[in-house]
Copies of this chain bind each other. A is one copy, B any other.
Amino acid sequence: MINKIIETFEEAVADITDGAVIMIGNFAGPGGFPYYLIQALKKQGAGNLTIVANTAGGIKIPGVLLDFDDHGILFENKQVRKVIANFPFSLSPTHLSPAEKQVNAGEVELELVPQGTMAERIRCGAVGVPAFYTPTGFGTVIADGKEVRYFDGRPHLLEHAIRADYALIRAYKSDRMGNLVYRGTMRQFNPIMAMNARVTIAEVDEVVEIGEIDPEVVVTPGIFVNRIVRIKDDPGFPRHLERSFWVRDSEAI
C-alpha cells in the first residue's frame, strides 16, 4: 500500500544532507509557504545549502508584509551557501535581510534571475528539458555571459534547467498517494517545484482518504510527492478555511 504520510516534520527532513539543493515554495508572505518544514530544517541543521526560492527570505517591511519566520531563518542560522532568487532584497534599505547582509559580506552567493525565467528553469528541470531560449533579459545584466541567439529576428538568451534534491512545498489537501490540491494563490511555485525535486516533501492542512479528491481537480499528481506531513497547529496567519474562494453570485461581492 502506498502511504506517504509522515508523522513529524523532523522525520520528514531528517535525511537532508549538507550541500543539498533545496527548492522552497514562497511568494510575498506566508501563503503557500512550508512554514513548519522550514522550522524543522533549521532545527535539523544541514549546512552549505543551495536555496531556490522567490525571495531570499527575511524581508521585513513593517505595515506592508506580514512579519513571520520564513526561510530567512536558514540564513540567520548560517545554513546557506548559495541562493537562486528573483526578489532577494528588502524593499527598505534600512531593514536589510540576513541574506542581503551575507551576500554583501561575500558569505552567500546570489544568482539573480528574472521571475519568469526562474519558473521556466524549474519547470524544464522537472520535464527533462535541459535548456531553452527566452527573450527575457537580452540587453540587460541578466544576459552577461549567456549565449544569444536570434529567432524570427528577435534576440533570445539560452537558459538552463535547475534541478533540486529536495522541494519543501505547501499544499491544502493531500491523500496518502500524494495527490495535492491547493487553495487560491497558494500554488505559486509549489506545483512546479513538486515536479522538479528528487524528493518532494509537502506540508498540508488536511489529509483525506483516497478518492476524496475529485480527479479533475488534482493539481500535483501523487507521483511527484514523496512525503506528506499534516499541520497540527495553526500558525495564526489570516485565513478562512471554512470559506472557499468560489464566488457563485456576482452580487455577493
Contacts and interface: CB of A to CB of B under 8 A. Distances in A.
A129 to B, nearest CB: 5
Contacts of A129: 120, 132-134
A15 interface: no
Contacts of A130: 133, 135, 151-152, 154, 156
Interface residues of A, number: 35
A212 interface: yes
B212 A248 contact: yes
Contacts of A184: 215-216
A248 B182 contact: no
Contacts of A14: none
Contacts of A140: none
A65 interface: no
A237 interface: no
Nearest to A211: B248
26 contacts: A128-B134, A128-B135, A129-B132, A129-B133, A130-B133, A130-B151, A130-B154, A130-B156, A131-B133, A131-B149, A131-B151, A131-B156, A151-B160, A181-B216, A182-B216, A183-B216, A184-B215, A184-B216, A210-B250, A211-B248, A212-B248, A214-B246, A215-B246, A216-B217, A216-B244, A216-B245
Interface of A: 120, 124, 127-135, 149, 151-152, 154, 156, 160, 181-184, 210-212, 214-217, 244-250
